[in-house]
Amino acid sequence: MADFIKNPVVDLLDRNPEPVFSGKDLSFSKDEKAQIMKWVSSYPSKEGAVMHGLWLAQEKFGFLPPEVIQLVADEIGMPYADTYGVATFYTQYFKEKKGDYVLDVCTCFSCQLCGGYDILHYLEDKLGIHKGETTADGMFTIQEAECLGACGSAPMLQVTNGPYVNHLTPEKIDALVDALRDGKMPEFESVTLPQDEDELGGNRRTDVSLTPTYGVCPVSETLS
Amino acid sequence: METQSKAGDWRAFKRVLMPPVKDLHKLEVYEEHEGYAALREVLTTDKWDPTSVTNEMKKSGLKGRGGAGFPTGLKWSFMPPVDPDIPRFLCCNGDESEPGTFKDRQLMEYNPHLVLEGMLIAAYAMSIKTAFLYIRGEFADWITLMEGELEKAYAKGYVGQDIMGSGFSCEIVIHKGAGAYICGEESSLMESLEGKRAYPRIKPPFPAQKGVWGYPTTINNVESLACAPLIIRNGGDWYAGIGAEAHPGPVLYGISGHVNRPGVYEYPTGMLITDLIYEVAGGMRGGKKLKALIPGGSSTPILRADMIEGLTMDANSLRDAGSMMGTSGMLIMDEDTDIVAWLRRITHFYHHESCGQCTPCREGTGWLENIVTRIDEGEGNFRDLDLLLDLCTQMEGRTVCALADAAAWPVRYTIDRFRDEFEARCRPSLIPSGGVLENA
């Protein structure tokens, strides 16, 4: 047998890992089941609800091992293989256990030219891990993300598929990591439109507390 | 060269997609500023029926803002005649994952009800009873905001059954993506909605004939749909009179990169690129010189600084200059930019985001990345440049969707327009002709 068949060049997911959840832990509550049924009813076919269902499962269990995917499949009533196919297609579904906080640092080209890799390397040095790895205490995972659609406020990162943190500097990273260690998620940052700054004197929203404005992007030191 | 601008007196332009109103995202504020007035007019007066709404959209000359620039009114008119037994669907494409583009997110944050109103007008024009708003999963905070505002619109009777007592009903469902660039492509967006892997479909059949769940479907970008209430309120002629003649309307320019004031700006189409960089966006960072820019997202061909003199931001002008309007997400690069490293990052992006359905794209994007990486690290040969161009030819137009083309164009045009920088990075071995060896 050729070598590459025994040792595939690509790291494939372990399709049958030891189950992490079992018994009573591995179930949806009554409210969650009702929510899934509501989603199922809003699409012409039940399969439409699968992405909502997987999101719900990921929020509850933290990641999606096969037994959780099976649970979602059973709840919606679609085959496991199809559900597994969806879960593995999209990057935001975690198929393996991650840290408590997943830091997705955007390095796509707008961020790259404005210091995205500087931020990534600073974060790697600070936490002592490489991208794709999790710290020993299981608190942080660093990932390199593709364009997150916040090019005007580069460099930026996203915390666990949630809030965006814009205009990153090493100081801001330090403060963010300290806050996360205390269990404090960053607040929603509304980015002020430059035209609003001229015409309204600041952010147009009065219901958000943090309102940083577009600033000058930093100069990048490294590009890869 | 002020006279060449097609945007008229753009300094006096009053924003309409995101007018300067505090808290416009709140329903009560939106109502005070003509909110849902266009929908009310369409639903309750005799002036409008589905055909006249579509005709007004055609008259406006609105070209889709999602990248391809297809006329929106024309797209609406492709829907087959109404058959009460066959459901029809509208999808609003808020996937916005083209690198360099960040306008739809801002529109959804600052004027969400304009988007919802536009969806409802589009639904009325095509007799659609269910509309999906697909938003990429990374925009979790903005999805929460949209869901909250949608709930308020439901409570006020703007969405749902028998809207404003007119007998017209339309439900809006917000669908959260989960991180896949390919979902911005219309047919893979439909696959994603159906709860499958987002593999693009072969066209034809086009979505208007056989779309989501096999039923007639229309898919429009967030910004395109947000223009519909404005066109109804002010008339198609008003819209057609803004900006460049062949590509009219207000447009959201997302300017990022090495400028002093990056951000989303609303101005008419046909703005001079030099105006956008040096006046609107506050000039180049640190007073540096401009080296290059991409006018509309990562897959639009790059333009050198010497190519933009007198060039305006509209489809025809950019096409003549050898580029495209795309999503009008502009990336500005100053003289210190390393073009090879930049291209390496783009090829990495497309390699990562290729869905893997078609071989030329799945393998081709990988090889593009490998070869550009080799050149960037100083290990490349001159013949690698031709190999890259050859690869691009093998990818373009040979796949189900346009991702392979989108991946190949940046490589082709960047090498074409910055060949000297690539050659300078290559190892001077295997040189095809003499003369260059002296530099070794």
Domains and CATH numbers, chain B: 2-6+17-240 (3.40.50.11540), 250-334 (3.10.20.600), 339-425 (1.20.1440.230)
Provide the phi-psi class of B97: left if phi over 0, else alpha when psi is between -120 and 50, else beta: alpha
Using CB atoms, which residue from A110, A146, A158 is nearest to B353? A146
User: Taking a C-beta distance cutoff of 8 angstroms, is the pair B176, B139 a contact?
Assistant: no
Contact between chains at B179 and A92 (C-beta distance less than 8 A)? yes
Q: For residue A23, is it within any domain?
A: yes
**What's the mean pLDDT in A10-30?**
86
| pLDDT per position as a tens digit, B44-74 | 999 999 999 999 999 999 999 999 899 999 9
Share of chain B above pLDDT 90, in %: 93
Compute the nearest-CA separation of A116 from chain B (Å): 12
Distance to chain A for B299, nearest Cα, Å: 12
A204 Cα to chain B: minimum distance (Å)? 5
CA distances to A40, A47, B125, B127, B356 from B207, rounded to whole Å, are 23, 19, 17, 16, 22
Q: Is A40 part of any domain?
A: yes
Number of H-type helices and E-type strands within chain A: 9, 4
Residue B427, beta-bridge partner list: B381
pLDDT at B314 over 80: yes
Whether A77 has its CB under 8 Å from any CB of chain B: the answer is no
The answer to whether residue A144 neighbours chain B at the CB level (below 8 Å) is: no
Q: Which of A39, A104, A109, A206 to mutate to test the interface with B (most CBs of B within 10 A)?
A: A109
Query: For residue range B191-221, what is the model confidence (pLDDT) as tens digits?
Result: 999 999 999 999 999 999 999 999 999 999 9
Task: Kindly state whether B98 is in contact with chain A, defined as any CB-CB distance less than 8 angstroms.
Answer: yes
Q: Are residues A114 and A180 in the same domain?
A: yes
Residues of chain A in contact with residue B18, where contact means CB-CB under 8 angstroms, are: 193, 195
Q: From the list B178, B254, B264, which residue is nearest A92 (CB)?
A: B178
* CB-CB under 8 Å, B101 with A149: yes
Question: Which 8-state DSSP code applies to residue B284?
Answer: B
Out of A32, A59, A89, pick the residue that ends a domain: A89
Indicate whether A13 belongs to any domain: no
A66 and A136 in a common domain: no
Based on the domain organization, do A126 and A193 belong to the same domain?
yes
| Long-range own/partner contacts, residues A83-87 (CB < 8 A, 24 or more apart) | A83/A50, A83/A54, A85/B196, A85/B197, A86/A50, A86/A51, A86/A54, A86/B195, A86/B196, A86/B197, A87/A54
Q: What is the pLDDT of residue A4?
A: 52
Asked if A108 and A58 sit in the same domain, the reply is no
What is residue A5's predicted lDDT score, i.e. its pLDDT? 53
DSSP sequence for B407-433: HHHHHHHHHHHSHHHHHHHSBS-S-SS
B29 contacts chain A (CB < 8 A): no
CA distance B271 to A76: 50
Residues A122, A145 within the same domain: yes
Q: Residue B2: is its pLDDT beyond 70?
A: no
| Most B CBs within 10 Å, among A38, A143, A151, to test the B interface | A151
- Interval B88-141: pLDDT, tens: 999 999 999 999 999 999 999 999 999 999 999 999 999 999 999 999 999 999
Nearest to B181 among A42, A146, A163 (CB): A146
Contacts of B177 in chain A (CB under 8 A): 51, 90
Q: Do the chains contact at B102 and A149, CB–CB below 8 Å?
A: yes
What local confidence, expressed as pLDDT, does residue B8 receive? Answer: 86
Model pLDDT for residues B247-297, shown as the tens digit of each residue? 999 999 999 999 999 999 999 999 999 999 999 999 999 999 999 999 999
Residues A31 and A113 reside in one and the same domain: no
Same domain, A178 and A106: yes
pLDDT of B133-160, one tens digit each? 999 999 999 999 999 999 999 999 999 9
Specify the 3-state DSSP secondary structure of B58: helix
Per-residue buried b or exposed e for B313-344, using 16+ beta carbons within 10 Å of the residue's own CB: bbbebbeebebbbbbbbbbbbbeebbbbbbbb
Q: Residue B432's pLDDT is what?
A: 52
Residues of A in Cβ contact (< 8 Å) with B298 = 109, 147
When pLDDT is cut at 50, 70 and 90, the band that residue B435 belongs to is very low
In a domain, A80, yes or no: yes
- A145: containing domain: 101-199
For chain A, what is the domain count?
2
The CA distance from B233 to B41, in Å, is 8
Question: Do A169 and A121 fall into the same domain?
Answer: yes
Per-residue pLDDT averaged across A149-158, rounded?
Answer: 93
Give me the helices (H) in B181-246, please: 186-193, 222-234, 236-240
Closest chain A residue to B175, measured at CA: A52
Average predicted confidence (pLDDT) for chain B: 93
Residue B438 pLDDT class (50, 70, 90 cuts): very low
Encode pLDDT of A167-215 as tens digits: 999 999 999 999 999 999 999 989 999 999 899 988 899 988 776 666 7
| Residue A141 counted as domain residue | yes
Domain boundary among A89, A110, A141: A89
How far is residue A67's CA from residue A18's CA, in Å, rounded to a whole number? 10
Residue B434's pLDDT is: 46
Between residues 1 and 40 of chain A, which touch chain B (CB distance below 8 Å)? none
Token match 């039940």: residue? A46
- Residue in A with minimal Cα distance to B103: A149
Among candidates B305, B254, B255, which has minimal Cα distance to B107?
A: B254
Subunit contact A224:B286, Cβ cutoff 8 A: no
Residue B3 confidence (pLDDT) above 90? no
Host H or E run for residue B329 = strand B329-334
Same domain, A43 and A132: no
A137 located within any domain: yes
Same domain? For A81 and A150 the reply is no
- Specify if A158 maps to a domain: yes
By Cβ distance, the residue of B21, B175, B264 closest to A152 is B264
CATH number of the domain that residue A171 is part of: 3.40.30.10
Based on the domain organization, do A84 and A137 belong to the same domain?
no
Q: Give the pLDDT confidence of A36-50 residue by residue, as tens digits.
A: 999 999 999 999 999
At residue B430, the pLDDT reads 57
Nearest beta carbon to residue A108 from set B265, B333, B349: B349
CA distance B180 to chain A (A): 6
Is the pLDDT score of B391 beyond 70?
A: yes
Q: Is B178 on the interface with A (CB under 8 A)?
A: yes
Query: With 50 as the cut, is the pLDDT of residue A70 above it?
Result: yes
Phi-psi sector, B297: left (phi>0), alpha (psi -120 to 50), beta: left
Lowest mean pLDDT among B332-341, B397-406, B430-439: B430-439
Nearest chain A Cα to B334, which residue? A113
User: How near does any CA of chain A get to the CA of B179, in Å?
Assistant: 5
pLDDT value of residue A1: 41
Cis ω for the linkage preceding A155 (within 30 of 0): yes
Query: What average pLDDT does chain A have?
Result: 91
Cα–Cα nearest to B179, from B144, B134, B112, B225: B134
Provide the strand spans (E) within chain A.
101-106, 140-145, 157-159, 164-165
Q: Is the pLDDT at A14 greater than 90, yes or no?
A: no
Residue A2 lies in a domain: no
What local confidence, expressed as pLDDT, does residue B388 receive? 96
Give yes or no for B101 touching A (CB within 8 A).
yes
The tens digit of pLDDT for each residue in B325-379 reads 999 999 999 999 999 999 999 999 999 999 999 999 999 999 999 999 999 998 8
Which residues in A lie closer than 8 A to residue B141 (C-beta atoms)?
162-164, 188
Would the CB atoms of A194 and B105 count as touching at under 8 Å? no
C-alpha to C-alpha distance for A15 and B135, rounded to whole angstroms: 30
Q: Which of B20, B23, B98 sits opposite A206 (nearest CB)?
A: B23
Same domain, A123 and A55: no
Tell me, what CATH number does A26's domain have? 1.10.10.1590
